[in-house]
Amino acid sequence: MSLTNQPPAQTATTANANAQWGGRFAGGPSDIMQAINASISFDKALWKQDIAGSLAHAAMLAHVGIISKDDEAAIRAGLNEIGSEIAAGSFTFSEALEDIHMNIEARLSERVGEAGKRLHTARSRNDQVATDFRLWVRDAIDGLDQQVASLMRALALRAREHAADPMPGFTHLQTAQPVTFGHHLMAYVEMLARDRGRLADTRRRLNECPLGSAALAGTSFPIDRKMTAALLHFERPTANSLDAVSDRDFAVEYLSALSILAMHLSRMAEEIVIWCSSPFSFIRLSDAFTTGSSIMPQKRNPDAAELVRAKTGRINGSLVGLLTVMKGLPLAYAKDMQEDKEPVFAATDAAALCLAACDGMVRDMTANTQQMRALAGSGYSTATDIADWLVRVLKVPFRTAHHVTGRLVARAEAQNIGLAELTLAEMQAEEPGITQDIYSVLSVDASIASRTSEGGTAATNVQAQATRWLEALTSGTHTTAEG
């Protein structure tokens, strides 16, 4: 609701008292209080998790004899019917009932009567929402993990395709040494593997069940927390009831993992933008991932990549926002923590969209291998190969070889020619021991082929690593091609 230019808020009458609080409150909340307090507009996204948690709780209550088997059966049937209503879009959410928990519970009581009112025995909304939220984040991690794996497969396939195609490698965005396009793409596979590892670590740590912690102190009822944990596929119950209801580390850690993932996707997107630009022209994206200009008919703008780059700010903001919410809260639960869900939901949506866009662009792009090759040898990119040759063949100390090579680059630069165009006499003027053999290391292909060290850019390395990763991804290995 909009609060702009509203008349002074009025407190609701006794007749409108909030039924949730029973006899404690004679009157209902003001319009402003209701607007700031209600969370149903966003936490209705937790409905599947809330129903799952309630089903597990009801089964446990019946198992230990706190409620009857008949009540549990009625609750189970009612919750399943409510789930069908919500899925079909026929469920009416009420802001007056504040949140998803009370909306479902109220509807359950309407459907099954007294049995529905027994469901909340031995639990609180505090442990209920902590459980629901962990379940939601766990589900989100599983979905994003599959998306990351798909993008890794797309990159590895393209890397294998371009394992031997040279391109300039950069430091400081200046030409440094020749690499292959496949090697460059495989760098992102490694980054994304670490992202999958972080998400998996987050999932492992959050996989403890708060249900049964009640409001903050546990409960006097003889509940079986191991049973509810098992029914909800948690590894174990949480160990401390105060911590269980007030912990949002899992959400912070999840957003931290998403922020790092978004940073990696943003770096990839930035390179796609650069590679698409006319001075580079390394790749081309089709109409599916570009837009035009309203005034310049020749333009093909890589807007999908630019928006991936921009959405990093949204995801980072979600992390900072939740850290700020949590930083000053005493134990246990405080209403501030209602602000935990929207940033997590928003960041998840943004991350999923960015992953889909990057996956699409990688599969869509066409590499201009001729242009990459033409520029791979620019900027005296094989200079290091001269220094390495001097060390390897003439046994010159590397620092001396570095200085000799620098003088050769200066000679070539003064004449505006490539290193391979220097005469043998010119090279020997800087180092008499140089022989004709030095020209064998000055080509881009020779430079790339020589980089056979583990993790190097030699085409055989790239081909093998891409193949290993594709096999690992098929087998379900998360973090290493050798795993």
> Annotated catalytic, 2?
no
Tokens of 60: 């446990």
Long-range CB contacts (< 8 A, 24+ apart) of 309-313? 309/266, 309/269, 309/270, 309/273, 311/262, 311/350, 311/353, 311/354, 312/259, 312/262, 312/263, 312/265, 312/266
Nearest-CA neighbor of 81 among 104, 115, 114, 60?
A: 104
**CA–CA separation, 346 vs 341, rounded Å?**
9
Residue 78 gets the label, from left (phi > 0), alpha (psi -120 to 50) or beta, of: alpha
Q: Which of 41, 94, 277, 293 is catalytic?
A: 293
Say whether 40 sits in a helix, a strand or coil: helix
**CA–CA separation, 192 vs 413, rounded Å?**
40
Nearest-CA neighbor of 35 among 58, 12, 67?
A: 12
> Annotated catalytic, 264?
no
**CA–CA separation, 395 vs 349, rounded Å?**
57
- Prior bond of 164 cis (ω within 30°): no
Contact yes or no for 383/409 (Cβ under 8 A): yes
**CA–CA separation, 255 vs 318, rounded Å?**
7
Tell me how crowded residue 456 is: count the other CB atoms within 10 A of its CB.
14
Residue 143's H or E segment, with its range, is: helix 125-161
Contact yes or no for 152/192 (Cβ under 8 A): yes
Residue 121's H or E segment, with its range, is: none
Q: Which of 2, 90, 172, 278 is catalytic?
A: 172
Tokens of 393: 């063949």
Extended strands (E) in 147-256: 166-171, 174-180, 208-209, 236-237
DSSP string, 313-360: HHHHHHHHHHHHHHTTPPSS--GGGGGGHHHHHHHHHHHHHHHHHHHH
Could you list the active site residues? 172, 293
